[in-house]
């Protein structure tokens, strides 16, 4: 017979508590001002789809933040590419100078 019987299962308690909505998402209130036309369009969209207005606003904010992050990454990548080109040009110049110096040494002048 197993040490855990039907009677023992009722006494087993969880060591951690079940997370509630307060734990999952910390919300911060914020206010914004919309143009009347934009507000009416958002209200109509919300009524038509049944999706709350705040969900659309959160999605819009997430989209803007993602777009901004992408632009910053592109700008950083462009800087890296420009620096890489500069280093490649310096390397080519150095190789050309080095080849000239080595050709002078072996030329037999003296």
- pLDDT digit string, tens, across residues 21-62: 666 667 788 898 999 999 999 999 999 999 999 999 999 999
Instruction: Tell me how many domains the chain contains.
Output: 1
CA-CA distance, 73 to 52, in Å (whole number)?
32
Residue 44 lies in a domain: yes
Taking the model in full, what pTM does it have?
0.47
* DSSP secondary structure code for residue 10 in this structure: T
Instruction: Note down the domain range covering 61.
Output: 33-102
Residue 8 lies in a domain: no
pLDDT at site 7: 55
Residue 87 lies in a domain: yes
Calculate the CA dihedral of residues 38, 39, 45, 47 and round it to 10 degrees: -170
CA-CA distance, 14 to 94, in Å (whole number)?
69
Residue 45 lies in a domain: yes
Tens digits of residue pLDDT in 11-21: 555 566 666 66
Q: Tokens 């017979």 sit at which residue?
A: 1
Tens digits of residue pLDDT in 72-102: 888 889 999 999 999 999 999 999 888 888 7
CA-CA distance, 100 to 93, in Å (whole number)?
11
């Amino acid at each position: 017979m197993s040490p855990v019987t039907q009677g023992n299962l009722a006494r087993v308690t969880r060591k951690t508590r079940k997370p509630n909505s307060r734990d999952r998402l910390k919300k911060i209130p914020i206010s914004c001002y919309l143009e009347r036309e934009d507000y009416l369009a958002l209200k109509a969209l919300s009524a038509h789809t049944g999706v709350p207005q705040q969900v659309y606003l959160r999605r819009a904010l997430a989209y803007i933040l993602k777009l901004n992050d992408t632009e910053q990454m592109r700008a950083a990548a462009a800087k890296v590419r420009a620096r890489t080109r500069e280093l490649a040009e310096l390397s080519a110049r150095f190789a050309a100078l080095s080849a000239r110096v080595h050709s002078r040494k072996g030329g037999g002048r003296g």
